[in-house]
Structure 1
Amino acid sequence: MDAIVKKLETFATKPPLPVTERPSQTEVESAVNTLLRWIGEDPSREGLLDTPKRVAKAYREMFSGYDKDPADELGRTFEEVAGFDDMVLIRDITFHSHCEHHMVPIIGKAHVGYLPDGKVVGLSKVARVVEIFAQRLQTQEAMTAQIAGTIQDVLNPRGVAVIIEAEHMCMAMRGIRMQGSSTLTSTFTGTFRDHPEEQVRFMTLLRAGAKG
């Protein structure tokens, strides 16, 4: 796991560069037209006339994470926290992403905790880190490690804990069509990784909040 997190930290702090230059709006709309014809539709019928334009606009929004650096969201920190140095836990950060294998939705929640080492960050900034990574083609395993790696690398806390639970539409809509199943992934760094009791405390607080 350490090797995986280490490998992903570099990727996490800087958005990946496109392999090629982005196509034009016209090229994107033409590609959507091709897909419509491929599935058996008639792109010229009234209900589909503006679909290529709408799809291009939707994709620009849903995959806007490629244009943003998650590390920037953690740039402003606060050191005057009245000596607080215990766990910060942000539960139930909802997100929508897309799997990189079939480009269908992943819908889930992220739970992020960290142990500050002299500085904390605004709670909404952690949620923004989750959102930025979600707005890229993803695997749940990679996204979990990317979030933890970015927070660890930028804030340098004593440890980071990330748990993601999500439903994958590639399982619900195709293949085995198993609806309602969820996948759980976790990544722990620093104190959370080295001291199992801190993992237990993280999970205890997570469950306590869920019951509340």
Structure 2
Amino acid sequence: MSKKQTAPKKPKLVSSTPRPAREEAEAAIRTLLAWVGENPEREGLRDTPRRVIKAFDEYCAGYNMNAGDILAKTFSETGGYDGAVLVKHIEFESRCEHHLAPFLGKAHISYIPSGKIVGLSKIARLVDIYARRLQTQERLTSEITNALQKHLKPKGIAVMLEAEHFCMKVRGVHKDHAVTVTTRFTGEYQKDDDLREEFFAQVRG
């Protein structure tokens, strides 16, 4: 007799506030268009509210995904491998929670297995789960690290994010070439200076 499969857990809502209806979200975009001085009923803008909300379905898809589901499948057959696993240049897109402007960059993630490994594509998917939310780069760095620690419990984790923030490019200070770098280390990476230097060298190599 086959075991009854349980449905995957739904991700916890970030806010306890009831989610507005889609029609309400589209109405808010129409209000914004009118506020900037446009006519929401003209031909070119008539369908814009629907398109914007559909785009936000994609921008914020991470709220409907769960890191535990992505990292649940692990492998213990490593052939005795006990070195670091580095996946670098993982491209990501996110949205600044302060201005809703995009920030785009690359993630470099390394972990030292403690008896189990995870499929490499799952590391990239993990980045997407947290990047496709309203974010700060600092919190994004921590959330990726915390999820790896919780579900893999490795000997050490190194995470580096490099990103360009459009809230600095197209408004405010207007700095086109500024790049923000954030890092977080745990376990052996936090304790061992040489291990951190090796991580930086591999990322830059």
The answer to whether 1:85 aligns with 2:74 is no
1:47 is paired with a residue whose SS is coil
Tell me by how many angstroms 1:71 deviates.
2.3
Question: Mapping of 1:14-29 within 5 angstroms?
Answer: 15-29=12-26
3-state secondary structure, aligned to 2:144: helix
| 2:107 aligned residue | 110
The structure richer in helix per residue is 1
Q: Which runs of 4+ in 1 moved over 2 A?
A: 14-19
Unmatched runs of 5 consecutive residues or more in structure 2: 1-10
Which position in structure 1 is the counterpart of 2:196? 199
Q: Which residue matches 2:8?
A: none
How many residues in Structure 1 have an aligned counterpart in Structure 2? 195
Q: Deviation digits for residues 154-176 of structure 1, max 9, x if unmatched? A: 10000000000000001001111
Partner of 1:8: none
Distance 1:15 1:85, change over 3 A: farther
Q: Does 1:176 align with 2:170?
A: no
Q: Does 1:185 align with 2:182?
A: yes
- In structure 1, what is the Cα distance between the partners aligned to 2:195 and 2:19? 45
CA contact (8 A) 1:111 1:162 kept: yes
- Give the match for residue 143 of structure 2: 146
Pairwise CA distance, 1:15? 4.6
- What TM-score, normalized by structure 1, do the two folds share? 0.89
Q: What SS is found at the alignment partner of 2:182?
A: strand
Quick check: 1:15–1:68 contact (8 Å CA) kept in 2? no
Which of 70, 75, 83 lines up with 1:73 in the alignment? 70
Q: For 1:141, what is the secondary structure of its paired residue?
A: helix
Q: Structure 1 stretches of 5 or more lacking a match? A: 1-13
Q: Residue 35 in 1 paired to residue 32 in 2?
A: yes
Residue 159 of structure 1: aligned partner: 156
CA-based RMSD of the aligned residues comes to 1.0
Q: Conserved in 2, the CA contact under 8 Å of 1:93 and 1:127?
A: yes
Structure-2 separation of matches of 1:89 and 1:135: 22
Residue range with higher mean Cα deviation, 193-202 or 159-168: 193-202
Distance 1:20 1:60 in 2: 18
Please give the per-residue CA displacement for 1:113-167, whole angstroms capped at 9, x wherever unaligned: 0000111100000111100100111110110011011101110000000000000
- Percentage identity across paired residues of the two chains: 47
**Which AA in structure 1 matches 2:82?**
D
